[in-house]
Structure 1
Amino acid sequence: MNKRGQAAEDGLHMIPFRGLRYVSERVGSLAAVTSPPYDVVVRPDGLHHLESADPYNIVRLILPQAASPVARNEQAAETLDRWLAEGVLAPDPEPALYIYEQRRGEILQRGVIGALALSAPDEGIVMPHEDVMPHVVADRTALMRTTAANLEPLLLTYRSDGTTTGASAVIERIIHESALLATTTEDGFSHRLWSVTDPADLAEIAADLTHHQALIADGHHRWATYLRLRDELPAPGPWNYGLVLLIDTARYPLQVRAIHRLLNRLPVADALTAVEGLFRVRDIDGPLPCALDALASAAAEGNAFLLAGDGRFHLLDRADAGLLARTVPADRPEAWQRLDATVLHAALLEHVWRIPDSPEDITYIHDTEAAVIQAERRGGTAVLMHPVREDVVRELAQQGVTMPRKSTSFGPKPATGLVLRSLSIDA
């Protein structure tokens, strides 16, 4: 097998599982119990909003609130057990793969949710493209170990030849049948879920996926958690698999957005003073959309960043070549060296601003407007980023090269709470 960039006969291996799903009669609405992935919830406003939406909202499992990490995890496990005992959540009667559809306007995404066999990065079957933060992996590992559950699917992508065969053919057949559930969340996305239990359909999907490798689009920390827990429990069993949503981007391309940085302890004035002479700095008049347009134009020519937090927008571009030569590691591919995230972390954060990559100093925020608002509230600096192209992400991943953590945000992301996987039921 070619480890990098080549399809392989021993590629992806996805198996059915007995999905845990909300019993619609026991909750206010399916939309009210769902949540974005744990790392997209903007604390504290988003957390409180979700908690108040329904007493059974999934956020009580993925982001439990208690005085200590141990207490939080135990609370999540107790909540999961109680919801199962009360019939709020119930396992499906037989193992299944699930077809999942998201739609809003012209955006349409369909894929397969299942339990995917875990593989190490050097096997080239599932390819990460970002580094992870050890403290986040430790946090997610403790939660998953205590609850013995995969509470939300990772988002993985692969590329077919675009024809309606294999998994795509099964998807196209199944979506004309009655769905297990259908709901519309407050972000305007409609969601539908179908189960696949027919042995012939399952075999068709399985045979197709053995010819493919997958890119982790969203969920690097949860993937690292899967691998850590598998290594803790090396005997064959349910921990050798992890819950994923697998999307064929040849048929359903994902959107790629940037993840912004909020520098909690660095005022904008200090940030600008430090970069004087090292970047060209221009003030951008107008509202946020105009500033983002200016960022996009500058990013087409080279590295560019938009600073906010003082009520204005400041565009940084045309980095000093000597600064980049001194700070950006030269032992990686040129495409990696040119990444905005690489230059931000290696040149600006580590060398110019001298900011450690710790939760106290840097907050990672997906929503652009939220990043600006939080920077203004805290007296810090929001560093707004321009998204990376998917082909660059995939090219680096195929070479086994990871990007700086939180470099991309692929979407739309699956709603959390539509289907869960219990490791004890799957045992």
Structure 2
Amino acid sequence: MDTAGHSEATARRGLELTPFRGLRYDPDRVGSLAAVTSPPYDVVVRPDGLLHLESSDPHNIVRLILPQAATPAARDRQAARTLRRWRAEGILTTDPEPGLYVYEQRADDGLLQRGVIGALRLPEAGDRSVLPHEDVMPHVVAERASLMRATSANFEPLLLTYRGDRAPTPTSTAVERAADRPPLLATTTEDGYRHRLWSITDPREIAEIQSDLARHQALIADGHHRWATYRELRAEHPSPSPWDHGLVLLVDTARYPLRVRAIHRLLHDLPVADALAALKGTFRVRRVDAPRAEALTALAKAAATGNAFLLAGDGTYHLVDHPDPELLARTVPADRPAAWRTLDATVLHTTLLAHLWHVPEDSAAHISYIHDTAATVEKAERDGGTAVLMHPVREEVVRDLARQGVTMPRKSTSFGPKPASGLVLRTLEP
């Protein structure tokens, strides 16, 4: 690889966000903008959610982010053909001039989130301007990288957060000024969220935003596998090139706090009875004969004082807590900070999955990671597996560990709301 083009970036610190010409759906060529959007690829519950999205509109973005074919190579080729066809037919059109995009999400419960979408320069080794906080699964990175190679496109922005100033900043001022203008698009998706998008194309305003963001460090809130994919593909292409950048949404959580939810586990080949039997003498297990909301409340109460999990799949719930300290001492690595060793996800992966249940965490045949609580329980009951419901981690714990350079177990957190996929894409072709 030609590294000469990266030498300048080695000394660069802070976030460098670059405008781009967004690739967007022509609203006159699709049924509705809501019908062509999708949750991020890893949030789509398969196969039910995938089929629902595919049938909602023949041009739904899921046909690009999760193409369906007999083999991985065929899936990638299909996505590339679909993208070329949609561009040729004018389904997807490129904005006339480069810009940064202001993106807004609203919900009826009062939630308001706004951020800036742009092409972020990928930092060099040793540059900690972007902090990951979770491990990744190599096979997922390989899958995403193969899709991006085939399509030469970033279909979905990563969600990054940073902590801005309480006082108005050039970025916050630009965001709020944009939100007072008529949007490029506005739509309400099936989940009730209202989405609006604006572009900022004025060079002076863009320069002010860039100067402001250059002072900040960002945390990856969602998209660790795509971030690892960006970095892998950047290493494959001589710099400078479009692969030096990746599509991101940057949200200032000092102004727009995110919500942190858990990501649950579905153990396909482990019946609940077998999972509970393996815990005998090592964890306290209590049956919770109550509706899901009450069972989750019991989980939250138990998690406030120590490691706790809720197992489901046999028609009821089982609260698992009070792990044997000697068992934890034997199974949890001692070379990490206490905040990492006591994470529920750490205990789940090192003690329960690896030691007691013997479930390989990186095998899709044995374990699925699902954001939706109801879907996790329903699939476990239908398939005879075990749902392991988790309690969310506080954002400050995530950020503190990331600053220490300590990554959490994969799929430990779910920050949101996540940006809808399909509102603005980035092509890497000239």
TM-score range, shorter chain: over 0.9
Shift of 1:122: 3.5
| Deviation of the 1:10 alpha carbon | 2.5
Instruction: Check if 1:123 corresponds to 2:127.
Output: yes
Q: Unaligned 5+ residue runs, structure 1?
A: 1-7
Tell me the residue number matched to 1:241: 245
Of residues 299, 306, 311 in structure 2, which corresponds to 1:307? 311
The corresponding residue for 1:3 is none
Q: Which residue of 1 aligns with 2:106?
A: 103
Q: Does 1:290 align with 2:282?
A: no
Residue 329 (1) aligns with residue 333 (2): yes
TM-score (norm 2): 0.96
Deviations 1:288-335 (A, max 9, x none): 001000000000000000000000100011100000000000000110
- What amino acid is aligned across from residue 113 of structure 2 in structure 1? Q
Q: Distance in 2 between matches of 1:165 and 1:54?
A: 40
Aligned residue-pair number: 418
Deviations 1:256-300 (A, max 9, x none): 000000110111111111101100110012110010000000000
2:378 match: 373
Q: Tell me, what secondary structure is at the counterpart of 1:275?
A: coil
The one of 150, 171, 174 aligned to 2:175: 171
Structure 1 length as normaliser, TM-score?
A: 0.97
Q: Is it true that 1:10 corresponds to 2:13 in the alignment?
A: yes
How many Å apart are 1:163 and its aligned residue?
Answer: 1.8
Contact between 1:122 and 1:400, CA under 8 Å: does it hold in 2?
no
Root mean square deviation, CA, Å:
1.0
Check the 8 A contact 1:18/1:95 in 2, yes or no. yes
Q: Which residues in structure 2 correspond to 1:124-143 (within 5 Å)?
A: 124-143=128-147
> How many Å apart are 1:9 and its aligned residue?
7.6
Matched, 1:62 2:65: yes
Q: Which amino acid aligns with 1:33?
A: V
List aligned pairs for 1:4-403, cutoff 5 A.
10-105=13-108, 106-120=110-124, 122-357=126-361, 358-403=363-408
Determine the C-alpha separation between the residues in 2 that align with 1:59 and 1:26. 17
Aligned counterparts of 2:315 and 2:342: Cα–Cα separation in 1: 29
CA contact (8 A) 2:159 2:220 kept: yes
Change (3 A) 1:201 1:53: same
- Report deviation, 1:120: 4.4
CA contact (8 A) 2:286 2:320 kept: yes
Q: CA deviation at 1:119?
A: 1.4
State the SS of the aligned residue for 1:25. Answer: coil
Is 1:19–1:92's contact at 8 Å kept on the other side of the alignment?
yes
Is contact 1:307–1:314 with CA below 8 Å preserved after alignment?
Answer: yes
Unpaired runs of 5+ in structure 2?
1-10
For the 8 Å contact 2:13–2:127, the answer to whether it is kept is no
* Same amino acid, percent of matched pairs: 70
Partner of 2:420: 415
Structure-1 separation of matches of 2:181 and 2:293: 42
Give the secondary structure class of the aligned counterpart of 2:377: helix
For residues 384-422 of structure 1, the C-alpha deviation after alignment (integer angstroms, 9 at most, x for no partner) is: 000000000000000110000000000000000000000
